[in-house]
Each structure stands twice: as structure tokens, then as C-alpha cells.
Homo-oligomer: A and B are copies of this chain.
Amino acid sequence: MFRQRTYNPSRDQGPFPGAHFFWQVLILLADPPSSGPIRRINAPRRIAVAPESTRCSTCMLNAICLPLGMTRQDVAKMDELIKERFRLPKGGTLYRQGDVADAIYGLRSGSIKTQIEDANGQVQITGFLLPGEVLGLDGLMTDQQVSHAIALEDSEVCIIRLDEMDQLAPQLPSLQRQLRRLMSKEIGRSHQLLLALGSLRSEQRLAAFLLNLSQRLQVLGYSPYEFILRMSREEIGNFLGLTLETVSRLFSRFAREGLIRVQQREVHILDMAGLQALSGTDCS
């Protein structure tokens, strides 16, 4: 039935009933939320933390995250906006498809995957997020989340409530702009991924995946040459439109060819240029 075996992630609450759309059915804006009463997200599990620790102005990620490009004054205003943080254990879900989308989230630490699910339960991972990146932008359309967000390890997110953001918007045009940028970036990212899934062969996809990860980790101050993967082979495969076996084989081959060294989830990149050549990034 499917080109690849159905990727069936562990479900903590049984099958989700609200995955009823496909493609641009969204454009209709017609179908009411058929998923029954809209659930309130995780409300009980939220904790307010000591104020000074949630400040954007003192956050190490403020050069990467939402405040990117803002003036000091504007960042100070951001501090009013972000009152809550949220701890997420490994495997925990930040939100699920169909939840009300009344906030966006800045990932503070850890890593999170986002995935969508169609009516058949077929799942597609749409992104692996690293600290400083913002989640929940895809839910702004319908006021309902259209994807699941699941922690790959213990993680922590900052919560930015939409209504409070709208209130603050007039005084903080730079936030609107930055938000627009982030959404635009998300669109660009999906498009690049589309290009990968649509036209790259498996080895190119994996090479590009590793390079992408390496680069993003470097931005965060980590070594671009060695890192540990937070996701399983199966998740990588799903993300790249491949099977876990293919991914595993490619890892082995890359290692055999001296491009990387890999044991389990620990990856050492030995030949960055070689990977780039493989991925097709390197032009000419």
C-alpha cells in the first residue's frame, strides 16, 4: 500500500481522530473541527519558573531565537511577553494535531520533532528542531495545531501566547517582522526539503541531512564535526522519505568510504567536503 512501511510512532493516547485533511483542503476553511471538543494543551503540566531565568534579554539564545535582530529595548519588552516555560520529558508531546493553537514556542534546550499525520495514520516528520528555533507557526492558520510536537530528549520551551503577542504588537513592530521572517523561513525550509525529497537520491538526502544538522549545531556553538543524533534511524528515514534499512546502509557506506565515523547515534564527520560534494551543495 505504501511506498515505505508505515511509520507507527508510539502513541500515548491512542489514534488521533482529527487528522482529516489532505493537502490544500485547508484552503477551504470550510470543515469545522471534526475532532470533537478542542483540547486544552497541557495546561496542568505548565510551570511558571523564576522570572529572571525566562528573560529573553539574558537568554543565551537571544541572538538566534525570536529576538534576533531586535534592539535592546525591544528585547526588554519581549521579557514581558514570555512568562512561562515548560519542561518536556523525553518522548513527551508539547502539542498534538488538533489542539488549540494559542501560543508559539521557542525551544530553549533539548530537541523536538514535528510530524503530521494523515487520515490513514501515515506519518511524516516535518522537522527536527534545535534550541533557538520556534515551533507552532504552522498552527496559526486554523487556530488549531496541524502537527504533533514530540520531544526527542528532555527539553524546555518558552511559551509565547498569541493573544498577549497581539496586544503587544502595536508597540513592538519588530516582533511582527521577526515572526513574519520566521514563518517565511519555515516555508523556505519546507521547500528545500521538498526539493530534496523530490529530486535527490538517497545518498544525497542523507548527506544533506547530516550537513544541515552539522551546520545548525555549529551556529549553536557545538562542534560541527561530531555530534550525537537525537533521533532513530527510523525517524531519519521517515523524514527523508527512506526506510530505516536504507538509512542504516548509507551510514555504513559513508563510514566505509571514510566520509564519516559512526557508532550507534554518535557521528563524526571526517570529510566535510566529500559530504558536500555528495549532497550536491557544492556547485559547478
Contacts and interface: CB of A to CB of B under 8 A. Distances in A.
Given A3-B199, A201-B3, A208-B23, A183 B184 contact: yes
A120 B200 CA distance: 12
A124 interface: yes
Contacts of A146: 188, 191
Interface string A1-26: 11110010000000000001111111
Nearest to A162: B180
A126 B191 contact: yes
Interface in A16-71: 20-29, 68
A119 B281 contact: yes
Copies in the complex: 2
A232 interface: no
Interface string A119-139: 110101010000001000111
Interface stretch (A86-94, A212-220, A263-271): A212-220
Interface string A155-182: 0000000000010011001001101111
Interface string A207-238: 01001100110010000000000000000001
B3 A200 contact: yes
A222 B197 CA distance: 32
B189 A26 contact: yes
A195 B120 CA distance: 12
A240 interface: yes
Nearest to A138: B187
A76 B169 CA distance: 22
Contacts of A184: 137-142, 183
Contacts of A177: 166
Contacts of A186: 187
Contacts of A283: 20, 119-120
A169 B176 contact: yes
Nearest to A5: B199
Contact of A191 (B138, B180, B212): B138
Contact of A215 (B28, B199, B200): B28
26 contacts: A3-B201, A4-B198, A21-B192, A24-B216, A26-B188, A26-B189, A27-B215, A28-B219, A116-B195, A124-B191, A124-B195, A126-B194, A137-B184, A138-B184, A140-B183, A140-B184, A141-B180, A141-B185, A142-B184, A147-B191, A179-B180, A180-B183, A187-B187, A190-B190, A190-B191, A199-B238
Give 7 closest A-B pairs by Cβ, nearest first: A141-B184, A190-B190, A119-B283, A198-B241, A124-B195, A140-B184, A197-B197
